[in-house]
Structure 1
Amino acid sequence: MLTAIERIGNKMPDPAIIFLALIASVILLSQVLDWAGVHATYQVDRQRPAISEPVYQGGSSDIVEAGPTEPPGPGSYRIVTETSSVKGLLTVDGVRYIFTSFVDNFRNFAALAIILVVMIGVGLAEASGLIAALIRKLVGVSSKSTLTFIIILLGMLSSVASDAGYLVLIPLGAAAFMSVGRNPIAGIAAAFAGVSAGFGVNFLITPLDGVLVGITNDAANFADPADKIDLVSNLYFGIASTLFVTIIATAVTTRIVEKVLGDYDPALAPTAGGDGEVEPAVAEVAPEAESRGLAWAGWGTLAAIAFIVLLTAPPGAPLRDPVTDKVIGDSPFMDSLIVIIMFVFLVAGLCYGRGAGTLTTKDQVLATITKSWAGLAALLFLFLLIAQFIACFNFSKMPDVAAVKLGDVLEHIDVGAVWLLLGVVIISAIINFIIPAAIAKWALLAPIFIPLFLRLGVPPQTVLAAYRVGDAPTNVVTPLMAYFPLIVVFTKRYDKNSGIGTVVSMMLPYVIALSILWTLFFLAWYLLGIPLGPGAPVS
């Protein structure tokens, strides 16, 4: 079975090739459906036109139409009948659209700017050694009884800078377990579960959140532009899920994985300089320099937060809504979260670098930022293709027609929202085996799921939460996951006979436990009607 999975996985093309094929498929399929006259007629609630007035937003020379700030009253909406017909992309209009919108599609792709801006701060913090130093410090002060929980929790939080978790925390997890007389391979499993099986939820707002929210809004925009979510739309659920997944993964590690692996036999380790040896992921820093850097980073972070508070807390502050004076919701503060995250990480990274001596010149600082952007080259090209796919898919009206048709079928067979959300979890988990990248997968699924659930009265933030639950657990058993081969290398460091089968077999208990229990946790959250985030109701 494992051999078959590995063979099939090795034959799967790069995600960029997959999206090129999808774009070609959309173009051809849209033309066939256009010739066939495929369409859908449906009734929808539309808000009556409201009087607006032009206002000027700070930082922009564009005039923005600002509508009424009060909730719409009775009679503000009306039922209208609309028809969506599939538009062929090989027609005159379709070909014209492909050529004239190509640059705009990429430029307007929200994830593009988000990832570039955030990586200025996160990339600098990672390159300075701050992320690695924080992980080492927290692992070092934990007791044996809490070691597993802390390593897994740090893995969950490391998604702020995903490379740091894979490259630093996983080998440190093995070393930490071995230092207290436990099997280091179990330490690898625990850290890998935290970094990857819980990827997508966090106590903090991460760069991934910005990308997923951007794709979600792009998918919802052509169904109903009013259905826009923000970065904190899954925050409450993310915080609770982080703790829940950490507890479950800790129990799986101590009660199942460690018992199956048994005591560690040092004779299994390869000889020095053998194939199992890997270079340390992060250069060593003297303990006194690291402590000084962390202290400077702490003061710098407090100063950065204080600065943001000054811009937000006082009435009429720049980051409060100029009309309602609110902070949460549709406000400058919420619109600035990406910049705030970048700013805090940038300040903390600079302070750590100066204190620890890892960043001493302006040239080094600029070089680390340039390097962090250079490492995004492949992702940016994938963004280009994703943007074209979403644009072509939306232009064709196929998502509209598919959502209406599927919605009609589901409404007639009376399938409840719970079963549909369960279907999102299962489909996401299955597709994760062939498209492990969370961004690429959501770019494919969001244009299908979001309009469908909007038609059935389920908001985008709930669908996105279901996707997070289905997406993460199977990360640890798919050989197509980018860091999976590295985990095999780390395992070989302690067992020269280990391989893909070793990693998959020790991670399967996490997949089974999290897939079942996390799904039940999400369904319970939905049925209890708990908000998923500030101003983000579950239904």
Structure 2
Amino acid sequence: MSNADAAPRSTMQRLLDGVERVGNMVPHPVVIFLILIAVVMVLSTLLSLFGVAVTHERINPQTDTVETTTTALRGLLNIEGIRFIYSSLVPNFMSFTAVGLMICAMIGAGVAEESGLVTALIHKLVIVSPRWALTYILAFVGIVASVAADAGYLVLIPLAGVAYLAVDRHPLAGLALGFAAVAGAFTVNMLIKPLDAVLVEFTNDAAALVNPDATIGLASNIWFSIVSVLVLTCIIAVITDRVVGPRLGTYDPSEASEGATTEPKTMLSDEETRGLKFAGYGLLGLVAVFLLLTVPPGAPLRDPTTGDLIGNSPFMNGLIALIMLIFLTAGWCYGIGAGTLRTLPEVIAAIEKSVKGLGGTIFLFFVLSQFVAYFTYTNMGTVLALGLSGVLQSANIGALPLLVGFIVVVAIIDLLLTGAIAKWAIFAPVFVPLLMNLGVEPEAVLAAYRVGDSPMNAITPLNAYFALMVGFAQKYNRNAGVGTVVSMMLPYVVWMFVLWTALFAVWKALGLPWGI
């Protein structure tokens, strides 16, 4: 087609083209952190030559007295710094516990996904959903599907389109609903998932810059996450039924791509049904075992001193083991029932496949561990946070406006840097200490990050799955493109961001607990 025959591009399309060009200039996350390491090395050395330091007061947790402490900035390109860089390479990585947490979680999640359990569960929920509740159930399942990583993108989104078509609704509305749920609410869930382990680990490392004894657990945001899931489910469903669906109108099958099949799956196979029953039996057995380990007085997983189950108990400290066992047990039992994973070697192969898929992530973690260790060694985060906190305290802005501003900053950055882990590795060492010095608990900072990081995922072309969404849309409308998807997703992004931020502000203002 000649340029003269090409349709003129709209302002929105030109804007998206510009965002895509800028985004394509953003290097790989590993390259970004290598650049940041170089910046930290040079900047810390220069500032240390000028004797940059900050004097502050801190509470000694052992004596409960206020002490005046001076924290000096240390350089990395002097004799001591070079010694640290050389000798700490392996210890930095070995002490980066996020690696172990991620691998443990994916052992279970990999078996559940490879056996077909996740796919079967999603299909079952859609099939049994009554027509009036279909939108709400799809939105809820889409959000919860993030516990199985890519399964939500690859299974729920196309399934939502087919489910809408089956009830005589526009399939593009179903795709938009699924994408908003999976991508726009990715950082929250009703369950604890592998991503939580990494985000919590970064938060604890950052909090230690202010108070070495300050730690949060895997369930530190669970109450806020559960309520967020319920609220976001309603927002996504209402936007679909009141805005996106009516705008799309009645679907014309002639718009579909040539050869596209749109027949919905109306029932599960006998093997899938039997697999789900086996998974239920296995899960009940696991629950029975853990009831014996937690409920009786003096049970092994209770705190040996206080007898508490919630708090600093073996049960809470080892919660990642329970998450792994839930997915592992349910996944294997489903595999036995459905005939997809019958033997132990097959389960081991599924685990190996899951762990192999983490190769790129593990290498990223290696580089991240060096960045975090170098940044901590230099005291740059502490000096910057204390300096900024002093300015902000003098300005008397207040913690809540700062948290809301932080949410906005994260959302803007998410348009160009979509990885939740990579962004938090950059933000946590600065914002967690900064806000802690203003009296904000680290759980609140992490909750604010969850709000800012998610909604923009549904609108940025730099999301790895945005192109996949365009492909799904072209199945039902051969002329669909980036502009089509963005125009559908924009109402979700705006309302999810505004109302979710409002929920966060109300939660913080009321002083509600963020989690366990």
TM-score range, shorter chain: over 0.9
What does 1:53-92 align with in structure 2 at a 5 Å threshold? Answer: 76-92=63-79
Please name the residue that 1:493 is paired with.
475
Task: Please state if 1:270 is matched with 2:257.
Answer: yes
Equivalent pair of 1:130/1:352 in contact (CA under 8 Å): yes
Query: Which residue of 159, 162, 166 corresponds with 1:175?
Result: 162
- Give the AA of the match of 2:40: V
Partner residue of 2:429? Answer: 447
What is the CA distance between 1:362 and its match in structure 2?
A: 2.5
Equivalence for 1:136: 123
Which residue does the alignment assign to 1:104? 91
Matched to 2:488, the amino acid is M
Please name the residue that 1:457 is paired with: 439
Q: CA deviation at 1:356?
A: 0.3
Match of 1:225 in 2: 212
% identical aligned pairs = 49
Residue 39 of structure 1, aligned match among 39, 44, 53: 53
Go from structure 1 to structure 2 and tell me whether the alpha carbon gap of 1:142 and 1:40 turns closer, same or farther (over 3 Å shift): same
Aligned partner letter, 1:522: F
| Cα distance in structure 2, aligned partners of 1:214 and 1:44 | 23
Query: What TM-score results when the alignment is normalised by the length of structure 2?
Result: 0.95
**How many angstroms apart in 1 are the aligned matches of 2:484 and 2:47?**
47
Who is 1:505 aligned against?
Answer: 487
Other structure's SS at 1:533 match:
coil
CA distance in 2: counterparts of 1:409 and 1:511, whole angstroms: 33
- Secondary structure class of the residue paired with 2:71: strand
CA RMSD of aligned residues (A): 1.6
Structure 1 residue 204 and structure 2 residue 186: aligned?
Answer: no
Contact map agreement 2:209 2:381 (CA 8 A) in 1: no
In the other structure, the counterpart of 2:39 is 25
Question: Residue 47 of structure 1: CA displacement?
Answer: 2.5
Say if 1:39 and 1:86, in contact at 8 Å, map to a contact too: yes
> Is residue 110–residue 215 contact of structure 1 (8 Å, CA) maintained in 2?
no
Which one-letter code corresponds to 2:221 in the other structure?
Answer: N
Measure, in 2, the Cα distance between the counterparts of 1:204 and 1:468: 15
Distance 1:286 1:47 in 2: 58
What is the one-letter code of the residue matched to 1:471? D
- Decide which of 353, 362, 365 is 2:344's aligned counterpart: 362
Matches within 5 A, 1:124-523: 124-272=111-259, 287-523=269-505
Which segment is superposed worse, 388-397 or 476-485?
A: 476-485
Q: Residues 407 and 452 of structure 2 are in contact (CA less than 8 Å); yes or no, is this contact kept in structure 1? A: yes
Question: 1:43: how far off?
Answer: 1.4
Residue 23 (structure 2) aligns with: 9
1:491 alignment partner, SS class: helix
Deviation at 1:143, TM superposition (A): 1.5
- Please tell me whether the aligned partners of residues 113 and 151 of structure 2 are also in contact (alpha carbons under 8 angstroms): yes
1:286 Cα offset (Å): 6.4
> 1:119 is matched with which residue?
106
SS in 2 for 1:493: helix
Which residue identity lines up with residue 492 of structure 1 in the other structure?
A: Q
Q: Which deviates more from structure 2 when the two are superposed, residues 39-48 or residues 328-337?
A: 39-48
Q: Deviation digits for residues 286-310 of structure 1, max 9, x if unmatched?
A: 6111000000000000101111111
Where 1:314 maps in the other structure, the secondary structure is: coil
Q: What is the alpha-carbon distance in structure 2 between the residues aligned to residue 345 and residue 444 of structure 1?
A: 31
Q: Distance in 2 between matches of 1:306 and 1:436?
A: 40
Secondary structure at 1:231 match in 2:
coil
Letter in 1 for 2:48: D
Tell me, what secondary structure is at the counterpart of 1:44? strand
CA distance in 1 between counterparts of 2:24 and 2:389 reads: 37
For 1:477, the aligned partner's letter is: I
- Unmatched runs of 5 consecutive residues or more in structure 2: 1-14
Q: Report the Cα offset of residue 222 of structure 1.
A: 2.4
Aligned residues of 1:125 and 1:350 also touching (Cα < 8 A): yes
Contact 2:124-2:268 at 8 Å conserved across structures: no
1:220·1:227 contact (CA, 8 Å) conserved in 2?
yes
Once residues 103 and 262 of structure 1 are traced to their aligned partners in structure 2, the CA distance between those partners, rounded to angstroms, is: 59
Structure 1 stretches of 5 or more lacking a match? Answer: 49-75, 535-539
8 Å contact from structure 2 (residues 444, 514) kept in 1: yes
Secondary structure of the equivalent of 1:82?
strand
> Given that residues 123 and 268 in structure 2 are in contact (C-alpha distance below 8 angstroms), is that contact kept between their aligned partners in structure 1?
no
Residue 336 of structure 1 deviates from its aligned partner by: 1.3
Tell me how far apart the structure 2 counterparts of residues 488 and 108 of structure 1 sit (CA, whole Å): 41
1:360 CA drift (Å): 2.2
Distance of 2:255 and 2:307 partners within structure 1? 64
Q: Is the 8 A contact 1:159 1:202 kept in 2?
A: yes
Q: Which amino acid aligns with 1:412?
A: S
- Distance in structure 1 (CA, Å) of the matches to 2:369 and 2:275: 40
Aligned-partner Cα distance in 2 for 1:286–1:181:
21
Structure 1: 4+ residue segments shifted above 6 A:
none
- Give 1:361 deviation, angstroms: 2.7
Deviation per residue, 1:177-221 (Å, 9 max, x gap): 000011111101101111111111111111111111111011111
Q: Size of the alignment, in residue pairs?
A: 501
Deviation, 1:285, is: 10
Conserved 8 A contact 2:127-2:267? no
Q: Is the deviation greater in 519-528 or in 475-484?
A: 475-484
User: For 1:164 and 1:149, how far apart are their aligned partners in 2?
Assistant: 19
Whether the 8 Å CA contact 1:162–1:195 is kept in 2: the answer is no
CA contact (8 A) 2:302 2:313 kept: yes
CA distance in 1, matches of 2:349, 2:190: 30
Letter in 1 for 2:439: G
Cα distance in 1 for residues equivalent to 2:428 and 2:255: 46
Q: Which residue of 2 aligns with 1:56?
A: none
Question: 8 Å contact 2:46–2:75 — kept in the other structure?
Answer: yes
Whichever residue aligns with residue 396 of structure 1, its letter is T
Q: Distance in 1 between matches of 2:344 and 2:284?
A: 23
Using the size of structure 1 for normalisation, the TM-score is: 0.91
2:142–2:156 contact (8 Å) kept in structure 1: yes
Q: In the alignment, what sits opposite 2:510?
A: 528
Partner SS, residue 54 of structure 2: strand
Letter in 1 for 2:148: A
